[in-house]
Every structure is written in C-alpha cells, then in structure tokens.
Amino acid sequence: GFFRRTIRLKLIYDRCDLNCRIHKKSRNKCQYCRFQKCLAVGMSHNAIRFGRMPQAEKEKLLAEISSDIDQLNPESADLRALAKHLYDSYIKSFPLTKAKARAILTGKTTDKSPFVIYDMNSLMMGEDKIKFKHITPLQEPSKEVAIRIFQGCQFRSVEAVQEITEYAKSIPGFVNLDLNDQVTLLKYGVHEIIYTMLASLMNKDGVLISEGQGFMTREFLKSLRKPFGDFMEPKFEFAVKFNALELDDSDLAIFIAVIILSGGKLLLWIFCERGWRGGGMAERIWTFLS
C-alpha cells in the first residue's frame, strides 16, 4: 500500500544516506529508505496498475497484453491454442479427471463419499454398494479375492487403453502418421500413461476404484497373498512422488501427449534412422510439446 500510494501520488521523499534498517516496527521512521527497500525487493512501478481495479477491467487489460504478446510472437499463440485443444480433448477422453479425484479424496465434493474397502468383510459389503464392472459376485473363498481384484485391474486397464487411444487421435497430426507408427507409439507409452493417470486416483493411504465410487486402502492391498499383495505397492510409491509435482489436468494433458509422442528409444530410432513417415506435422507436434 505504501509503495502504491507513493507511485500513484508521485510522492518525493527527502533523501537519506543513512541506509536505515527497515522492518515492521521502524518502517514509518524513514520513508525514503522504506521506498528504496521496496525497489530493492523487486516492487515494480508498472505492477501497481493491477492494484484493486475491478475484475472486469483487469481481465480486459490482461487480454490486451496477451494479445499484444501473441502478435509479437505468433508461435506463442500456436502453443496456447494447442494446449487448450489438448486440455479439451483430455476432459472428453478421461471421465475421472485429477480435479474430480482430488475433490473426492479430500471430501470437497457434494457427491456421495466413496465406500471404503479395508478388509474382506468390507469388500463383500462393497459388492452390493459399488457397481463393479467385469467382476463376478463374491462366491469363492477369500484366497481367490486377490485374483478377482487382479482381474478387475486388467479389465480397467483395457478401458484405459481405449481412453488413451481416443485421446491420442485428438493430438494434431497423430492420425497422419503411418498406422504402424501410431500403434508402436501407443504400445510403448501406454504403461507410463496408466501409471500417470493412476497416480491422480491415489494418496498415501489408498486408491479410488470404480470411477470414484469406492476407496481401497493400501494396507488391505498389502494384505493380499503374493504376488498380488505386492502388485500395487510400486504404484503407490510412484504416485506419492509424482503427486508432489502438483500437476493439474491442463499439465497432465500436455504431459500425456508428450509420453505418447516419445516412445523412448524406438521414437529416436524412427526419427533418426527412418525419418518421420508422417512428414512435417509430426516434427512440428514434437517441437511444440518439447
């Protein structure tokens, strides 16, 4: 507020060469040194324009600035348009976004809270409460539960591959690649993408299942007989680290597109040895997303 008043009112303070120490208790003793400290910590003359102006006026001004920047740098405008297109396609392709999952996990949603599965009894109760897909009703002994959960993961993976494929088709130029290259890129990127998407459904205590209807605890998954008991633990370890990056859905839309277009060593081989069979568009996409 002091800096804003000084700039707007064009105030001039008597010069002081004592280099006074400015802190909360002494800041009113020397206005000159206080103003100099404002400048020293990076306060900008131009920034005060955005003070407490009406929101509509601020948005209009920001839009004008953004438009000017885009005119000076057309590639920046292309990148913005590409990012928006990828985000819109991402929302259409993946029903349970990270934003929705986080809202469920943190209880910040008006929807019904997920049913918690933490042992065999709660799993059997969950059979009646959760609309599981592709899982037959629980009739086998408890030793078969791990197999059924594993099969459920497999069926969900198939659905995820279908969603990823639809999203890949929305990436500009992807469908112009040779069909074999499309299949190869998806083949080598799908597991990384599933790991990435699964992390959005997890916290350190468990994972959302059945489109957010249920929550299966990490400890329950650990209790299942081997090798099924160890099947999910590496995914939890990855999720904890990956979620620390705090990527939102717009970030993930671009990140997943990069994974699709970068099939590891195979992509390097295609690019260097054979050249992009899709032509310049594929190279342009790679440049944008890099």
How far apart are alpha carbons 287 and 285 in whole angstroms?
Answer: 5
* Tokens 């839309």, residue located: 253
pLDDT in tens, 265-284: 434 444 444 444 444 444 55
pLDDT in tens, 16-60: 988 898 888 888 889 999 999 888 888 877 666 555 666 677 677
The domain spans of the chain are 2-50, 80-289
Residue 130 carries which DSSP code? S
CATH of domain 80-289: 1.10.565.10
How far apart are alpha carbons 131 and 201 in whole angstroms?
Answer: 17
Does residue 282 contact residue 168 with C-beta atoms inside 8 Å?
no
pLDDT in tens, 220-268: 988 887 777 787 899 999 999 889 888 899 999 998 998 898 864 434 4
Domain 2-50 has CATH 3.40.50.2300: no
